[in-house]
């Protein structure tokens, strides 16, 4: 909200809605917006041009469908739904409506480091892509930590990046470990095979302890491009080098969030197609995440048959 209000030039936050009305009031005060208690009233209101859906994932499908009913452009935070079926229903509704109105908050597509990986491929500086590797470490698990949340709440970013760079998955094989209470897998390794023979390797941890760190690397026919430490500074003193490691994704991906919001606001106001992730990307990431969970449960590889992509998403 803060980024939208203070960092995106053509955006004005006019209304805030949250299940916690007291929190909504605090946030609304900081951006001089009004509080609306009913999200469907906000979505239908003619006083808003577009909405950001950053509510609990259990509400995403119904709210996204409501934005489609109201022909209101929306940026939906990941994941699109709790299950692929819910995400598929949103895609079906958007296709039936005949217009692209929904965008998905896979902000790494706007992270300067990840954009640079893709640029090297587009510029042909390293030849054809062969593999993508992503390491995604969170310091501590969320309070409601579960294997599903590790995969569909965290690894889904890496899954989207792999699709963004390599194309659709056709097979996944996942293994995981648990170091916490209740047996939820807080460390998962995913091996992916993609439509054009590319390979992906994802490590996601929700209990790394030391900090929040996301690194990525692509291996191509004649070169490798890897993201480097995102620390702003390195302190060298008394024979030691130190640099800060972020503790939360909002710090590591600030530039990505702002760039994503700027691109979404510009596309929404100009009527152009948003060049970030679509509802289809949200749906396909959900399908892969479910296959990863199935592979963890079955301890076997799981094949994925990518459905035909509707024309509006090509
Ligand atoms: C969180 O919801 C996010 O989307 C972050 O980008 C991710 O790193 C984190 O693991 C998720 O819990």
Tens-digit pLDDT profile for residues 284-314: 999 999 999 999 999 999 999 999 999 999 9
Q: What per-residue confidence (pLDDT) applies to 1?
A: 82
Regarding the beta carbon of 154 and ligand 1, being less than 6 Å apart is answered: yes
Instruction: Please count the other Cβ atoms lying within 10 Å of the Cβ belonging to residue 221.
Output: 9
Answer whether 0.95 is exceeded by the pTM. Answer: yes
pLDDT at 182: 86
Q: Which atom of ligand 1 is nearest to the CA of 214?
A: 8
138 lines ligand 1 (CB under 6 A): yes
3-state helix, strand, coil in the chain (%, to 5): 40, 20, 35
What pLDDT does residue 181 have? 78
Q: Is the CB of 205 under 6 A from ligand 1?
A: no
Class of domain 2-107+257-279: alpha beta
Dist. CA 54 → ligand 1 center (Å): 12
Q: Please check whether residue 139 is in contact with residue 223, taking contact to mean a CB–CB distance below 8 angstroms.
A: no
Which residues in the chain show pLDDT less than 70?
none
Name which residue sits closest to atom 11 of ligand 1, judged by CA: 154
pLDDT of residue 229: 76
Ligand 1 centroid, distance to 222 Cα (angstroms): 33
Q: In the prediction, which pLDDT does 304 show?
A: 98
Question: Which residue's CA is the nearest one to ligand 1's atom 9?
Answer: 154
Q: Which two tokens stand for residue 236?
A: 């060298």
Contact between 167 and 197 (Cβ < 8 Å): no
Q: Whose CA is nearest to atom 12 of ligand 1?
A: 154
Number of the ligand 1 atom closest to the C-alpha atom of 108: 6
Q: 249: CA distance to ligand 1 center in Å?
A: 6
Q: Which two tokens stand for residue 120?
A: 């090297």
Domain 114-251 superfamily per CATH: Dihydrodipicolinate Reductase; domain 2 (3.30.360.10)
Q: Tell me if 257 CB under 6 Å of ligand 1.
A: no
The residue extents of the domains of the chain are 2-107+257-279, 114-251
Atom of ligand 1 minimally distant from the CA of 107:
6
**What whole-number distance in Å separates Cα of residue 132 and Cα of residue 110?**
17
CB 218 within 8 A of CB 129: yes
């Amino acid at each position: 909200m803060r980024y939208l209000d203070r960092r995106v030039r053509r955006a004005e936050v006019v209304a805030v809605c949250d299940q916690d009305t007291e929190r909504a009031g605090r946030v609304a005060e900081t951006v001089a917006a009004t509080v609306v208690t009913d999200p469907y009233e906000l979505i239908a209101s003619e006083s808003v041009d577009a909405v950001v859906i950053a509510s609990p994932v259990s509400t995403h499908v119904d709210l996204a469908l409501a934005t489609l009913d109201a022909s209101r452009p929306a940026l939906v935070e990941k994941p699109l739904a709790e299950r692929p079926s819910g995400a598929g229903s949103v895609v079906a509704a958007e296709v039936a409506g005949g217009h692209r109105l929904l965008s998905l908050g896979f902000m790494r597509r706007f992270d300067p480091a990840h954009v640079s990986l893709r640029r090297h491929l587009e510029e042909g500086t390293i030849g054809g892509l062969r593999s993508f590797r992503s390491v995604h470490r969170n310091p501590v698990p969320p309070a409601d930590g579960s294997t599903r949340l590790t995969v569909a709440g965290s690894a889904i970013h890496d899954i989207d990046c792999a699709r963004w760079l390599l194309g659709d998955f056709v097979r996944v094989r996942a293994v995981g470990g648990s170091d916490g209470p209740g047996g939820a897998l807080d460390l998962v390794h995913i091996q992916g095979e993609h439509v054009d023979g590319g390979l992906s390797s994802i490590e996601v941890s929700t209990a790394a302890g030391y900090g929040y760190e996301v690194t990525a690397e692509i291996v191509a026919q004649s070169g490798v491009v890897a993201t480097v430490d995102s620390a702003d500074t390195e302190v060298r003193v008394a024979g030691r080098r130190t640099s800060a490691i972020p503790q939360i994704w909002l710090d590591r991906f600030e530039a990505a969030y702002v760039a994503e919001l700027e691109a979404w606001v510009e596309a929404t106001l100009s009527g152009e197609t948003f060049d970030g992730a679509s509802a289809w990307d949200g749906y396909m990431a959900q399908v892969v995440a479910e296959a990863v969970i199935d592979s963890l449960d079955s301890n076997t590889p799981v094949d994925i048959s990518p459905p035909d992509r509707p024309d509006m998403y090509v």
